[in-house]
Structure 1
């Protein structure tokens, strides 16, 4: 038997996106005049997620998910913070080796400048 804490942790995993079917089911339940609380209990989804899906559906008219932000910007900032004296070309090689990103040295310089790194 699971504890309440285990049930909450199981429901609150943030690493997964909901499938198209679950999002459609949320919208279908909403159109059948079910409350957010009822939909949450029925589908075992947090109420905030259900509310977000309904709001997004109303505002944008779609249930499609946006692509997640690219990991490259975080990797770039982390690389520069650890080793500040690297050239743009060596940063490009580092990012290609670790993430498989295809990026030019000009784009690296532009992003670094946008992040507040100068010089």
Structure 2
């Protein structure tokens, strides 16, 4: 048994057609496989309001930026393609009756097909400290790799890769020596040893 809001247009049409052909509510419910309450509700909505479709597409949170707002936002972006989200939000809010946040602006722009071109910033390593340290850590499961992830994520200036099947961890760090990294890995309670420097 489904809910009336889950019915397709075809199923709603079958219910209305069966009722118009003279079938009772019980007969219609047996025919289409829905409850009598659902059949009654669908037929009543059609009879009183002429409604045959579910309005689930209109459910959910109301969008703060409607169609005309999207048009305005699009004009703002097209007038200055290099403007930031902060600038777009400020300019939009200057003439709007409902103020929007930068997050709402980002969502609206994504819905309209505009995407961020913000570069991903990576921490640069100097030539001296660009070395990678490779360690063996006796990891047997996801929990073990999670423990390694937890202790390494607390260190600043560290990038690392965990290779669970081969029980290896490769760490690139500016601020920590191989011995310091080894001591950090031993805090997981797992056997750990330094393999090599790449």
Which TM-score applies when normalising by structure 1?
Answer: 0.48
- Structure with the larger helix share: 1
Which TM-score applies when normalising by structure 2?
Answer: 0.31
